[in-house]
Amino acid sequence: MTSTSRLVYDERLTAPKAWWAIAVLFGLSLALIFLPYGTIAALIALSIGTCLAGMYVSAQGSERIRVTGDTLFVTDARIPLAALGQPEVLDGEEARAWRTYKADLRAFMVMRSFITTAVRVEVVDPDDSTPYLYLSTRTPHRLAEAIGARA
């Protein structure tokens, strides 16, 4: 992102807090498995199990969506807003439909199972074979407004 661009929208698709609790419970379950081998083995299993599960949860919540005045940044992709059509807000069943049976294999999709709302944006660039972008987001109306407002 260039320093001259103003940030219009910024969201990190973080994992739910319950997933962190599950990561700790995974570490505890490993500690219980290794408890017959001694307290030290159980503590080692607790720390390793919790760290591994925590790394997975952290990786699931590392995706970021940013919109500046003229560019959409999603993960490592940089997409000029001029190459995009009007965004469509998808809620509940419609978002699930575009994730499953309506999905196109050529689409650029950033999906998170723990986020039920999304934005779908047509790609209008004739040189790009990608038909649309599907972006999971917790604030679909704000993202659609940011994409729709061209600089």
pLDDT tens track for 43-102: 999 999 999 999 999 988 888 999 988 899 998 889 999 899 999 999 989 999 998 899
Using the structure block, give the residue that is written with the tokens 């940013």.
66
* Gap between the Cα atoms of 112 and 106, Å rounded: 18
- Cα angle: 75, vertex 78, 80; to 5 degrees: 140
Helix 17-34 / helix 39-60 crossing angle, nearest 10 deg = 160
Q: What is the pLDDT of residues 86-99, one digit of tens each?
A: 999 999 899 999 98
pTM as predicted: 0.80
Tokens of 23: 């990561």
Q: Give the three-state DSSP class for 81.
A: helix
Using the structure block, give the residue that is written with the tokens 């017959």.
36
Closest CA to 116 of 100, 94, 132, 101: 94
* Gap between the Cα atoms of 137 and 115, Å rounded: 7
Flag whether pLDDT at 108 surpasses 50.
yes
